[in-house]
Structures are given as structure tokens and as C-alpha cells.
């Protein structure tokens, strides 16, 4: 069965302290891997799509990378406004979401 696992469940960083979030997956026939940001009380907001191993996408302080088994969301010099839950989803036969990583960035 297709599975998506995100780690860690929660991450607390100091402002400026870079780190990475992990999304590991086991699916047959990956068509795309997606990263979303979700703020409390809001719906998820699209960040990136990655289609093949070795692909990278960047947006401000965020960079997403993809291998054959996992994706990383790297956060460089985070700011408090980067605090949110980050969701990973994989599209194969259908779309499967991970449970998310709740990121808190303290000033």
C-alpha cells in the first residue's frame, strides 16, 4: 500500500537556525511529490511540485529536493513567519498526504 511518512512530527528552531524536514514515501509509479504549507485554521497552500529524482525547487528560504525514496524541505535561516505545518503529498494511483511537520521558529 502507498505510504507517506513525515518526520519529525514537530520541530522547534531559533530564528536563523537552518534545518530540514523529511518526507519518505513508498509508492508505485510516482507521478509527483507536493509540498504544502498550512497555517492554523487555514487550508493547505501549495509550495512546490517535484517530478523526478534529482529535481530541486526554491522559494525564498525554502528549498525542496527529491530522491527515489524521499524528499527534503530545507529551511535556511528561518524567520518566525515560517512557523506553520508543512505537508507532503505524493501522487501515484491517487494522492496520499503525510501527517505533516509542525514547525515553530522562535525569535
Partner 1 sequence: NAGVTQTPKFRILKIGQSMTLQCTQDMNHNYMYWYRQDPGMGLKLIYYSVGAGITDKGEVPNGYNVSRSTTEDFPLRLELAAPSQTSVYFCATETGTEKLFFGSGTQLSVL
Among the listed residues 25, 30, 98, 101, the single contact to partner 1 using CB under 8 A:
98
Told to check if 32 binds partner 1 by CB under 8 A, we report yes
Q: Coil, helix or strand for 81?
A: helix
Q: Which helix (H) or strand (E) holds 89?
A: strand 84-91
The rounded distance, in Å, linking the Cα atoms of 82 and 105 is: 7
Q: Coil, helix or strand for 82?
A: helix
What does the per-residue mask of binding to partner 1 show for 52-81, with x meaning CB under 8 A? ------------------------------
| Residues near partner 1, by CB under 8 A | 4, 9, 31-32, 34, 36, 41-46, 49, 87, 89, 91, 94-100
Amino acid at each position: 500500500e502507498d505510504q507517506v511518512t513525515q518526520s519529525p512530527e514537530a520541530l522547534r528552531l531559533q530564528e536563523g537556525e537552518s534545518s530540514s524536514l523529511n518526507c519518505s514515501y513508498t509508492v508505485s509509479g510516482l507521478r509527483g511529490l507536493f509540498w504544502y504549507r498550512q497555517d492554523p485554521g487555514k487550508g493547505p497552500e501549495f509550495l512546490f511540485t517535484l517530478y523526478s529524482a534529482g529535481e530541486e525547487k526554491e522559494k525564498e528560504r525554502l528549498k525542496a529536493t527529491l530522491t527515489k525514496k524521499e524528499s527534503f524541505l530545507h529551511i535556511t535561516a528561518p524567520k518566525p513567519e515560517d512557523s506553520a505545518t508543512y505537508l507532503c503529498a505524493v501522487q501515484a494511483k491517487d494522492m496520499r498526504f503525510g501527517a505533516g511537520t509542525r514547525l515553530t521558529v522562535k525569535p
